[in-house]
Amino acid sequence: MLEFLKRLSGKIPYATNVYSLSMVTVIIILARPVLADEHVYIHQIPQVNGVIFNTENTEQFYAATSAGLFSIASSGIAERVSEREDYLTEILRHPDRPGVFFSSGYRSRDEKLGVIRSDDSGKTWAKIADGVGSANGTRGPVAFYAMAISHSEPSILYGIEENIQVSHDGGLSWSVVGDVPGQVFDMAVSRVNPERVYIATRKGLYVSHNGGKIWQSAHSETRPTTMVNIADDGSIRAFIYNYGLVTSAQESSLAWVRSDFDFTGRAIMEIAVNPDNPSMIYGVADTGATFVSTNNGQSWTSMEGLRDAVSEQISAGRLLFKDNCQACHGIKGAGLNPDKLPAQNANDLPPAPALDDSAHAWHHPDDQLVETILDGSPRNKLMVAWKDHGLSRENAVSLVAYMKSLWNFSSLACQGARHMSCLR
């Protein structure tokens, strides 16, 4: 659990305002070259910090990221909404005015955004308030890392930086409500009662019935709780580390049901529930990777390679693997038996490494895996260029889809460049 909390320290600012500003700067710098490409997918964005559905087109959702706001298609293609490349820590949508968004975050390492608002679905933004910026009560600007808006009284907004703050005039002015019980990761407000507030904290899930003045436990588990969300239909979901996703059909009378899905030591930090189809949920892992569930959180699919993660493609890949790859890489990609050939080749690499999640296949993005299948490996003569042996690019894509079906949630969440932070 300690390692889990260390992983989050670079991504989630705590109630004591300990934010890794160096991490913010690094992520912004890394994001800009990647996002300058003509075609960008959400898995190429280093850090996603908040997600909301596009209520006018639920085939799309919006993502607040380390490089600004993006509109994400169901295929995973990311389109920049605004020219601003701020590090956005949160995104809210006005419940009655779909084009009105609220956010916060950083313009640079040394400049916080305060509370910003867009009246045109994120295309342009203006600062509407500083917030209460520090422990001595001076004015901000703040960088709220958790925000929530009341659906029954949309003029009421909450935000958390060093403490919990509230606005009763649509975000124009803010006052401190009080302290929060430990480090906070996320927050949500009841759909029917603007003073019933939930927070996901290091000590568990809490609820306040008086706008954040007094807190009490909302779940019997006291493990770190990293996400809480209340959907349009009134259902509430929370993620409890090393316990899983829990759901109650109504937040007004909590009756938690636990998902059986194994998140293998990772955490869900944010979700967005489709207002037209509540069984469809987009989620953000603690690594910044995005996932989609079409069965109310019972299973999750990575957004990287989402188009190919279908049963037909996986089945085709399974047959191709059996006919072309299994002789070396083993049944279900378990790797070559070291008794059959030397354990390492001349480059100190295994002759045919495991392709399940027990080795390093998940260290590489889909495109790189496809290219290795087609072009072979110059460091390993056993890995031939399969394009010269009758395999097409479509065949290679199917093989990768099958390989990824062998990976657990952690490997999918850590795929590609994200694997470096997962190895710390």
What confidence tens digit (pLDDT) does each residue in 249-285 have? 999 899 999 999 999 999 999 999 999 999 999 999 9
pLDDT tens digit sequence for 108-167 = 988 999 999 999 999 999 999 999 976 555 667 999 999 999 999 999 999 999 899 999
Q: Which pLDDT score, from 0 to 100, does residue 370 have? A: 96
Confidence of residue 16 (pLDDT cuts 50, 70, 90): very low
pLDDT at 61 over 90: yes
Helix (H, G, I), strand (E, B) or coil at 217: strand
Sequence-ordered list of residues with C-beta below 8 angstroms from that of 355, at least 6 positions apart, any chain? 325, 329, 333, 335, 361, 403, 406
Q: In the chain, count of helices (H) and strands (E)?
A: 8, 25
How confident is the model over 304-336, as pLDDT tens digits? 998 888 899 999 999 999 999 998 899 999 887
Please state, in angstroms and as integers, the Cα–Cα distance from residue 170 to each residue in 100, 198, 254, 275, following that order.
11, 20, 29, 23
Mean predicted confidence (pLDDT) in 2-16: 43
Q: Give the span between the Cα atoms of 412 and 369, in whole angstroms.
A: 14
Do 261 and 298 touch, CB atoms closer than 8 A?
yes
**pLDDT confidence of residue 118:** 98
3-class DSSP assignment, residue 366? helix
Summarize pLDDT for 209-244 with one digit per residue, the tens. 999 999 999 999 999 999 999 999 999 999 999 999
The answer, yes or no, to whether residue 376 has pLDDT greater than 70, is: yes
The tens digit of pLDDT for each residue in 185-208 reads 999 999 999 999 999 999 999 999
- In whole angstroms, give the CA distance from residue 52 to residue 171: 19
pLDDT-based confidence at residue 350 (cuts at 50, 70, 90):
low
Helices 366-375 and 393-405, interaxial angle, to 10°? Answer: 130
pLDDT value of residue 379: 80
Mean of the per-residue pLDDT values of the chain = 87
Dihedral in degrees, nearest 10, Cα atoms 200, 204, 205, 209: -110
